[in-house]
Amino acid sequence: MKTTAPERADLPVSGMTCAACARTIERTLATTPGVSRANVNLATNTATVEFDPGMVQVRDFVGAIEELGFGVPEKAAPADAAERGYRRRLIVAAVFAAPVLALGMSHGALHVPYSPWIQLALTLPVILYAGAPFYLAAWSALRHGAANMNSLISLGTGAAFLYSLVETVRGRHDVYYEAAAVIVALILLGRTLEARARGKAGEAIRKLMDLQPPVARVLRDGVEVETPIDEVRAGDIVVVRPGERIAVDGEVTEGESAVDESLLTGESMPVDKRPGATVFAGTINCAGAFRYRATKVGRGTLLQQMVELVRQAQGSRAPVARLADVVSGYFTVTVLVLALATFGVWLWVAPFAVAMVNAVAVLIIACPCALGLATPTAIMVGTGRGAQRGILIKGGEALEMAHKIDTVVLDKTGTVTEGKPRVTRVTAHGAFSEGSFSENDVLRLAASAERYSEHPLGKAIVEAARERGLALDDAAGFSAQAGHGVRARVADREVVVGRPGATVTIDGVLAGTIEIADTIKPEAAEAVRRLRAMGIEVWMITGDRAATAEAVARQAGIEHVLADVLPAGKVAEIRKLQAAGHRVAMVGDGVNDAPALARADLGIAMGSGADAAMEAGGVTLMRGNLNGVAEALELSRRTMRIIRQNLFWAFAYNVIGIPVAALGLLSPMLASAAMALSSVTVVTNSLRLK
């Protein structure tokens, strides 16, 4: 039987107001044949579905969501659209509710003729326009046998309004229009503040998206032409001037400059770029014009990959959210039962109006909107903050696991060390009839001989000479012997650079030695200190012999070393640590360490965002700086702390508020204010991560 590769769809959803809304949509999508996973995120207003395209299509999901009474716009609304919509309705509600509140709370002291009828006229615009979305959403949910936050609001305000309407028609003055009008106004106030805060929570991804310029200056038949970014193709030559943003990823072909990559990697120092260097979309050219060949365009650029990863992370769910999911699934029905019970008990001991008011207070205070925002808003802000620091966290599961880590295993080469040989010392030996050779002479002649060598040690010698500003000579008669070194004629001298070390022989006489080593990264020792200060045990794992590994470990301050470990053996060592009860994070380059990264409780891939690195770990450190490990784990701890606080407050409002309202100690207006405050509190608390 032919199987179809699974696909993923991200759909914008409008009309969701609480955790129950999200859960209803998620349950419907998850039970659709052909769907392997469904996740609905209240904070981002998105539904993510993984499905078999041979069994079901995106249009089926759109139909299912719309059948539930929610909308699926063709594209996501602007970040401030929700806030603007709520603000318009809030203004109407406030303008009409204020005089209703004054009349209602005067208890006849104002002596206004036909007061109930005036209050009715003023309340109608609040109910029919300002509160219309609540009632329409509640009706839609009812038609599908569901209940959500809108159901509670509609029942509460609807009961107060209808009771008052009947009393008005009967010529009575015992009305509660102010409760219905003010509750709608307060809920809209809460929604407006919440929408504004949620907009701030999503700032990180918008800032990333705004980094890419809309046009690029492309060479067409030798002429610079401003070209829309969507029309740039791989292979195009792009011209960049000082101060401009780089449009797409590419390789420098002509010119030199320094590029500010801080908004992409978190690295504050500009990075030098010469022919052959890689440049990334969204970074800023600081000085000097250059040209580069486009290599990755559209969704293939590193910037767009980052945007997609952050978007996926912000739309994901952390395991800690499951409790809120379960509670919200039964919450609304439970509240309806409690409200009916409250009404019944109070009706037995008090007038109908008192029973109704207390039942309304229970319905309003119990709205579980804060519960649905507790986890996703914190994840949105946490992952967004991480992206700004060059830390890409793949999702809620990786974020939650990171705070449990007690052991970090560091790969040596490329993680603790630079990952490439560097000249650490040059020594000149002996004298010649023409005089003595200085260290620079030895390095210059050796580098000239190695100029065209592909050997890593040869490249290190050439790089060291260039760093010292030494001018290299042309070499003739170049020859290389595997394992033995190179020979060439430089400036009429016979130069031999020997292997495996780097002895330099000139005209048959030992002229000097060049010491080469894979040096530790400058931040390694500080990074290890930070991890240990967090109570984390640090190990280093390498295939190098023990003596070399111990020397590197001593420089970095690492106590535990696993040496002579082949790549296949790294997985076994990770398993041993896990079997001993450790929660292990493996830190590597994301290519040859991929099995160990996958086996660890958390894989942290170092590097500049190579595709393999992004796939290998739950966390990718864009700038390859070892301090990012501690930053990522600390960010996770802070985010989880915020999530726990959010869940506590979300539950606390309901657990405390419901019995207080049921006992008749909380008016419906105070209940609506508290309910609105609970949502704003949760979102604002999440924003502290910024």
**Cβ contact 304:247 at 8 Å:** no
Helix (H) or strand (E) holding 507, with range, is none
Half-sphere exposure of 162 (CA within 13 A, CB side): 8
Among residues 411, 441, 544, 601, the one annotated as catalytic is 411
Mark out the alpha helices in 75-114 (DSSP H runs). 81-106
Nearest to 626 by CA among 518, 526, 538, 550: 526
Nearest to 131 by CA among 160, 99, 169: 160
* DSSP letters for 151-199: HHHHHHHHHHHHHHHHHHHTT-----HHHHHHHHHHHHHHHHHHHHHHH
**Cβ contact 607:629 at 8 Å:** no
Helix (H) or strand (E) holding 493, with range, is strand 493-498
Tokens 């204010």 identify what position?
A: 673
Which token pair is 246?
């780089």
Bond prior to 500 in cis (omega within 30° of 0)? yes
Q: d(Cα 389, Cα 392) in Å, to the nearest integer?
A: 9
**Cβ contact 638:689 at 8 Å:** yes
The beta strands (E) that lie in 34-83 are given as: 35-41, 46-51
Q: d(Cα 146, Cα 609) in Å, to the nearest integer?
A: 45
Q: d(Cα 89, Cα 202) in Å, to the nearest integer?
A: 23
Nearest to 104 by CA among 91, 123, 90, 89: 123
**Cβ contact 124:181 at 8 Å:** no
Q: d(Cα 631, Cα 265) in Å, to the nearest integer?
A: 13
Half-sphere exposure of 180 (CA within 13 A, CB side): 30
CA dihedral 657, 661, 663, 665 (to 10 degrees): 100
Q: Give Cβ neighbours of residue 149 (< 8 Å, ≥ 6 apart).
A: 17, 18, 20, 21, 332, 367, 368, 369
601 annotated active-site: no
**Cβ contact 111:120 at 8 Å:** no
Nearest to 358 by CA among 666, 27, 73: 666
Per residue, the 3-state secondary structure of 600-632, as one string, reads CCEEEEECCCCHHHHHHCCEEECCCCCHHHHHH
- What DSSP character marks residue 50? E
Catalytic positions, written as ranges: 411
